[in-house]
Amino acid sequence: MPDGSQKQYVLDTHRLRDPEQTLEIVKPFLKEMGITRIANLTGLDRIGLPTVMVARPNSRSVAVSLGKGLSLRAAEASGVMEAIESWHAERVRLPQRLARYAELSEDTTVVDVAGLPRVTGRQFDPHANMLWVQGHDLCAGSACWVPLEMVDTDYTSAPVGGQSAFPRTTNGLASGNNLTEASCHAICELIERDATTLWHHRAEQSRLDPASVDDPRCQKAMEMMAAAGLEIGLWNTTSDISIASFRCVICEGGGQFGHIGIGDGCHPDRAIALLRALTEAAQTRLTYISGARDDLDPKEFTDQAKMERGRYVRDLIESTQADQNFRDCPSHVTETFESDLGLILERLSSANLSQVVTVDLSRPEYDVAVVRAVIPGLEAPHDDPDYVPGPRALRILEGLA
């Protein structure tokens, strides 16, 4: 893995290597990770934003990963890296301890369990044994133990040595060309999901004025969607953390009902954050059109379900005013991932989020980095079926924020 953090690729995301280099490096070990196929889905829709699916049939979580970008190679690299990070998280090979939280916390540094998201119908027992995995607290600069069930993604069985008290998702799982790059992507995903959840709970949700968007890449993506006859809704969902976050929804225009798209994006550079939301919305729509994902309920493909989703998105667009200005969103453009990480940690600290734990899932035999980030205090995705509102969401629901 490269040691530096100077960004070499900044077109549709920020990376240390361009997509061609990344694909060339990972190609030799795709087979042993069970990746059997990379399929171009772009032509199944009329938007034209490159989207691919990556098949991993023997996956222990989802068998299909998706990737998107402004070029086919960028989409392929995106999808392949998502499959690679999932493979790593299904096979955690790190120091683990079987211990009771009440005893472990007296002996060593443990993640702030009170700030971790919970799930419906389960209670964490600090006096019951469970497996913990060692991570690194970026704020304190020291080792920190977190529940293994928040890191492991082997969903073929109940969490080994766990209590099923915390969400088992891929939220905060990311890959990159080195540890710092992967950490930035993982942390931004957690910030994005928290921001989207808080936005969902707010009553005031005025839209972003598309005419205020001054980035040529975002403008091009929106023009492609409009040319395809789709209606677009954009929202600035940036939270008190002040790292740019956006939501994009698309639906058929002219009162027609068809497949929708929903995308979210978060990045210190507001243009990249919005572009990620736009391309993810196109990817989501293609996910429905292709029917490729094995984690989607067949009921979601009925005419009734399509109509309900289409009506929801159209109502969301039509019930809100487009009076937000893109340039009002905070933006920080840096040349290195070290600078990005320092900025993100500073912004989290300013929002009273003082513990940022990363679990390094990388393996020395592969020239990629895979990280799982855990940040106590942030909200989990509101659309998870077992989501329980945390303190940040409750303050909004109770009218205190």
Amino acid at 153: T
Digit-coded pLDDT (tens) for 202-245:
977 799 999 999 999 999 999 999 999 999 999 999 999 999 99
Low-confidence stretches of the chain (pLDDT < 70) are 3, 401
pTM: 0.97
Q: Which domains does the chain have, with CATH numbers?
A: 95-400 (3.30.160.660)
Per-residue pLDDT at 7: 97
Nearest to 190 by CA among 401, 357, 6: 357
Say how many C-beta atoms besides its own lie within 10 A of residue 325's C-beta.
12
Per-residue pLDDT at 2: 72
Per-residue tokens: 171: 């939220």
Digit-coded pLDDT (tens) for 4-32:
789 999 999 999 999 999 999 999 999 99
Q: Are 278 and 248 in contact (CB under 8 A)?
A: yes
The proportion of the chain whose per-residue pLDDT surpasses 70, expressed as a percent, equals: 100
Per-residue pLDDT at 94: 96
Digit-coded pLDDT (tens) for 311-329:
999 999 999 999 999 999 9
Per-residue pLDDT at 255: 84
Per-residue tokens: 295: 């984690």
Collapsing DSSP states into helix, strand and coil, what is residue 401?
coil
Per-residue pLDDT at 401: 65
